[in-house]
Amino acid sequence: MIAPMQVVIVGAGPAGVRAAQTLVRHGLRPTVLDESGRWGGQIYRQPPPNFERSKKTLYGFDAGRAESIHSTMNGLLAHLDYQPDTLVWNAEGGQLDVLREGQTSTVAYTHLILATGATDRVLPLPGWTTPGVFTLGGTQVALKFQGCSIGQRVVLMGTGPLLYLIAYQYAKAGAVVVGVLDTAVLTDQIVALPAMLQQPGVLAKGLYYVGWLRAHGVPLHSGVQPVRVLGDSRVSGVVWRDGRGEQTVACDAIGIGYGLRSETQLADILGCRFYFDDMQRGWLPERDDVGRASVSGVYLAGDGAGTLGADAAEWAGERAALALVADAQGSFESADTARAFMLDAKLARSRRFRVGLERAFPFPVHWAAQAPDELVICRCEEITAGDLRRTAQATGTVELNRLKALSRVGMGRCQGRMCGVAAAEILAQCTGQPVRMVGRLRGQAPVKPIPFTVSEPPVPGACS
């Protein structure tokens, strides 16, 4: 028997749902805290209850997996404490601070599974603050959750498999995609093929999306260098450069993204150790092969600990839950041992596939050198690349948190989610360091803005 525990899962995406399912199967009643109003995460985001489009239309090839996640969680509701629309904004040893319906409260835990997911990795370009520019994730949310396109003539730009998935989803929904602009080149994909064959089904879907887009006349451009967004009060076009020179396409909306970055703030606040992952070009919380963090009682699963995709997130969520159960019991049951072995093998293949994916869609390492001084990096605080370079050079700053203190980069509403990657690249470039040497923006509470009220002072002479 497992000793009495208070197990909390943060996140109800693929990793969080499979973790909850595993814990319930072992006789536990976990608490699931989710910032969204309905379970499913970003990849399987559910539309409002009165939305009438079918899962097949919304999720395409992944409709079956979406249905599995949705129905699994629905069947678990009687066996766990599910708290949607709940933001976890701080974490301390044994306690989470949460915001729900405008009120703050605390949730105690003895064991914690962080399944916090990931957000878009953004690299700005001149004009990216113009109305009509979205992240790729936001572009997808508009379609899945609201059933609408971000514009009438849409350009999708950056790199990564999400670029082609969203282009396919938009075109299938009837939107006009006037261009897919990929900074990667065809030779990158060819060289990466052997590693991506680790997951042939996923590879086949990606090839299908590209083939379908070509067959339906969607312009696909590779090896591009984004130059600038055109327009004042609204996007009117985008300029890019490739081997044929500078080109322009008219559009009224743009989705941009360069893969994903893990949401790691809660792990940071809890004191988990971090390491620099060269493949994903970013800092991630340490975990062992089964999901244990460096802090006792904390487990990491899904894209919040490294982006391996939705399938791997499910496996990692289950694996972390099995590790939690084994730690509580002191050993595995025989059935769990076999299941854990299978999950470990699947996750190992996913990691090898991820190596291929990064090779196929590499980070544009020369972006910072090409970023002009007038380019806005931090839109919350209106800080430009030139501001960061001048601050670093004038003060001798070589570390990112010091640059934050001196320039305010990363101090706005996004807490560095949108600007942190770009700011690190700019600092590394202007100080001549590898990006790993400039460090990372440390997580601070609240991890996202929370409301507060101030009592008004009594009016002099008023009756109480």
Over residues 5-30, the pLDDT tens digits come to 899 999 999 999 999 999 999 999 99
250 and 127 co-located in one domain: yes
Q: Angle formed by the axes of helices 310-329 and 334-360, to 10°? A: 150
- Is the residue at 274 inside a domain? yes
- Is the residue at 341 inside a domain? no
127 and 252 co-located in one domain: yes
Last residue of a domain, one of 232, 258, 284: 258
Query: Is the peptide bond between 446 and the residue preceding it cis, with omega within 30 degrees of 0?
Result: yes
CATH number for the domain harbouring residue 249: 3.50.50.60
234 and 282 co-located in one domain: no
- Is the residue at 241 inside a domain? yes
371 and 424 co-located in one domain: yes
295 and 415 co-located in one domain: no
252 and 127 co-located in one domain: yes
Q: Residue 250 in contact with residue 239, Cβ under 8 Å?
A: no
- Is the residue at 434 inside a domain? yes
pLDDT(53) > 90: no
Nearest CA to 439 among 395, 392, 398, 385?
Answer: 398
380 vs 412: CA distance, rounded Å: 5
Over residues 386-404, the pLDDT tens digits come to 999 999 999 999 999 999 9
282 vs 294: CA distance, rounded Å: 18
- Is the residue at 285 inside a domain? yes
Q: What is the mean pLDDT of the chain?
A: 92
- pLDDT score, position 330: 78
Q: What is the 3-state secondary structure (H, E, C) of the chain?
A: CCCCCCEEEECCCHHHHHHHHHHHHCCCCCEEECCCCCCCCCCCCCCCCCCCCCHHHHHHHHHHHHHHHHHHHHHHHHHCEEECCEEEEEEECCEEEEEECCEEEEEECCEEEECCCEEECCCCCCCCCCCCEEEHHHHHHHHHHHCCCCCCEEEEEEECHHHHHHHHHHHHCCCEEEEEEECCCHHHHHHHHHHHCCCHHHHHHHHHHHHHHHHCCCCEEECCEEEEEEECCCEEEEEEEECCEEEEEECCEEEEEECEEECCHHHHHCCCCEEEECCCCEEEECECCCCEECCCCEEECHHHHCCCCHHHHHHHHHHHHHHHHHHHHCCCCHHHHHHHHHHHHHHHHHHHHHHHHHHHCCCCCCHHHHCCCCCEEECCCCEEHHHHHHHHHHHCCCCHHHHHHHHCCCCCCCCCCCCHHHHHHHHHHHHCCCHHHHCCCCCCCCCCCCCCCCCCCCCCCCCC
Structural domain span for residue 303 = 7-119+261-331
127 and 249 co-located in one domain: yes
Residue 448's contacts (CB-CB under 8 Å, 6 or more residues apart) are 87, 89, 415
Indicate the number of domains in the chain: 3
99 and 184 co-located in one domain: no
146 vs 144: CA distance, rounded Å: 6
- pLDDT score, position 334: 67
Order of strands, sheet of 111-114, starting from the edge strand that comes earlier in the sequence: 81-83, 31-33, 7-10, 111-114, 298-300
252 and 270 co-located in one domain: no
Angstrom CA distances, 372 to 95, 215, 255, 452, stand at 45, 37, 21, 38
115 and 188 co-located in one domain: no
Over residues 197-224, the pLDDT tens digits come to 888 988 999 999 999 999 999 999 999 9
20 and 31 co-located in one domain: yes
Confidence at 460, pLDDT banded by 50, 70, 90: low
Last residue of a domain, one of 223, 238, 258: 258
- Is the residue at 185 inside a domain? yes
Tokens encoding 15: 């990793």
105 and 144 co-located in one domain: no
- Is the residue at 355 inside a domain? no
Last residue of a domain, one of 258, 276, 311: 258
75 vs 70: CA distance, rounded Å: 9
Q: Residue 385 in contact with residue 378, Cβ under 8 Å?
A: no
Over residues 285-310, the pLDDT tens digits come to 999 999 999 999 999 999 999 988 89
- pLDDT score, position 57: 78
CATH number for the domain harbouring residue 387: 1.10.10.1100
What is the percent of the chain where pLDDT is above 90?
78
- Is the residue at 460 inside a domain? no
